Structure 1
Amino acid sequence: MEVTSRLDWHPQLSDPTGARNVKPRTLGKTMVIDKGLGLHALQDLMDTAADYIDLLKIGFGTSPLYKKSLLKTKIDLAKANNIVVYPGGTFLEVAIRQNAIDSFFDMVAYFGFNGIEVSDGTIEIDRNLRNELISRGKESDLTVFTEYGKKCWGSTIELEELIETVTIDMEQGADLVTIEGRESGKGVGIYDENGACKDKEIEQVLKGIPSPDVLMWEAPHKEQQVHLLTTLGTDIHLGNIAPQDIISLEALRRGLRSDTLLLGKTAAEPNEALN
């Protein structure tokens, strides 16, 4: 007979910050970008890191490139682990450009996606259509993420436009607004050509919006994650995280890596802890 030990990690060892919440979380959400995971790879990811994944984005317009049975199985697996799974916003932009919005929503329902992303990273979408897409998503009982920012190299944040976009999107029912960072994390949005954060722009953004909790920051690189967590707090929402980086990011959030260790609470002086 298998004997299960009653021992468990001390809370100050598993989460030195003492601040990490379990799912379903309202703060500190992590979004994984899936750029082509097979079913076995996704199952492995669920086995090792499902507790630390809140959102799974089937990247770009890759959804129709899978066999239908495989895509549905992936979506069902994510949902079984209390994860919101949705197609990338670029795919909805494709649907708009191809005059196939109705078909897009039909297939979202058919496959069982429980979220969508409304973006205009590549094409221009007027305010009325953006509102209609957000409303249609909410009416379909979907979690709706919107995105601000262009994907082209050198694109920057227009502060007044961003504040207006965030305010109206939330009024229309959007659950979170993503700040564009692409999967490259360089030369776009809040990142310069080397991938470093533009702190002045971030500060201006946070001063202008109703609440920082409505934003999700795309941060594909460790240095960006560390910088944002240490400057904005461990409970910020982070997106475009590679599957292989989920455990590493969770360790950063909890103060279990040297980069964020000092964010954790100190229970006792080292010498005291030995006594």
Structure 2
Amino acid sequence: MDFLHLPERTIKPRTYGLTSIIDLGTPYEELKNILTDYSHLIDVAKIGIGSAYVAPNLKKKIDLYKEFNVKPYCGGTLFEKCYLQKKIPEYLHFLQLHGIEWVEVSSGTLDISIEERLNIISNLLKDFHVIAEVGSKDVNHHMDISEWKQEIELLLNAGCNYVITEGRDSGTSGIYNQNGKINADLISNILENLDYEKIIFEAPTPKHQMYFINEIGPNVNLGNVKLSDVLVLEAQRCGLRCETFFMGEHMLI
């Protein structure tokens, strides 16, 4: 029964309004139960950090995600590990062997220049959909707002499907400071001239998620969402929580 007036949500297959979850070792049978109930709310699944390399039943889980129309990919840490050891060709073979069609290019742990990342991306685009990430996991690494905006723009213009703003699974780096506070000036500047529909904001907690929902609207792309928070996030998007209660009256999207 649909009797409430709620914010209009995009529906799968979505190009924006994405919920991108982080999978840090969800057992297969548990994942199957979750997807049976909530796959209509999940668009993208990141096999977090470098865990895909040591995950049991990885191919089986990848096939399950794809069966439920969720796009799986491996966290950027695994890409960077392979880059450091000069194993990118082997990594790409690993992805193809497991049926993974999306790849993340990042510089969260290593200092990989934007020029080098753009060169890698140009070589990946013929075989993969590419998600790039901007920002460092090192809280002491400072990027000017202009640098954030320039990198995002360059990566989108290079053909990346989406660009992620770094926030870690803890919300303590990148677009956040060490205590988890959002850099509001950075976010407002990013939103000025860039296409928010192509940006995935890492928002690992309901508090972070509600900030972006209120700032941008119910169809903001959010990443690093815990599987246990998927339904809560959708309720927040729909104005069914106190902090987003008036979303239906004040939509920006």
With normalisation by structure 2, the TM-score equals: 0.93
Q: Which residue of 2 aligns with 1:271?
A: none
Q: How does 1:166-181 map to 2 (within 5 A)?
A: 166-181=152-167
- For the Cα contact (< 8 Å) 2:139–2:177, is it kept in 1? no
Question: Distance in 2 between the 1:137 and 1:256 partners?
Answer: 41
Q: Give SS of 2:22's match.
A: strand
Say which of 212, 231, 236 aligns to 2:196: 212
Letter in 1 for 2:34: L
Say which of 18, 23, 33 aligns to 1:29: 18
Matched, 1:254 2:238: yes
Letter in 1 for 2:154: I
Structure 2 residues without counterparts, runs of 5 or longer: none
Structure 1 residues without counterparts, runs of 5 or longer: 1-8, 267-275
CA deviation string 1:96-128 (max 9, x = no partner): 001100000001000001211100001121334
- For the Cα contact (< 8 Å) 2:79–2:88, is it kept in 1? yes
Letter in 2 for 1:170: L
- For the Cα contact (< 8 Å) 2:16–2:198, is it kept in 1? no
Q: Which residue of 1 aligns with 2:145?
A: 159
Question: Distance in 2 between the 1:155 and 1:257 partners?
Answer: 35
Question: Distance in 2 between the 1:240 and 1:157 partners?
Answer: 21
Which is worse superposed, 256-265 or 231-240? 256-265
Larger radius of gyration: 1
**Count, aligned residues:** 250
Question: Distance in 2 between the 1:127 and 1:194 partners?
Answer: 28
Letter in 2 for 1:56: A
Question: Distance in 2 between the 1:233 and 1:156 partners?
Answer: 28
The CA RMSD over aligned residues, in Å, is: 1.6
CA deviation string 1:165-207 (max 9, x = no partner): 1121112110111110001102x12222321222122112222
Note the C-alpha offset of 1:154: 4.0
Note the C-alpha offset of 1:57: 0.3
Note the C-alpha offset of 1:214: 1.8
Q: Which residue of 2 aligns with 1:42?
A: 31
Say which of 152, 174, 193 aligns to 1:189: 174
- Percent identity over the alignment is 32
Q: Which residue of 1 aligns with 2:129?
A: 143
Q: Which residue of 2 aligns with 1:75?
A: 62
Segments of 4+ moved more than 3 angstroms? 154-157
Say which of 85, 91, 94 aligns to 1:107: 94
* Residues 157 and 44 (structure 1), Cα distance of their counterparts in 2 relative to 1, 3 Å cut: farther
Q: Which residue of 2 aligns with 1:95?
A: 82
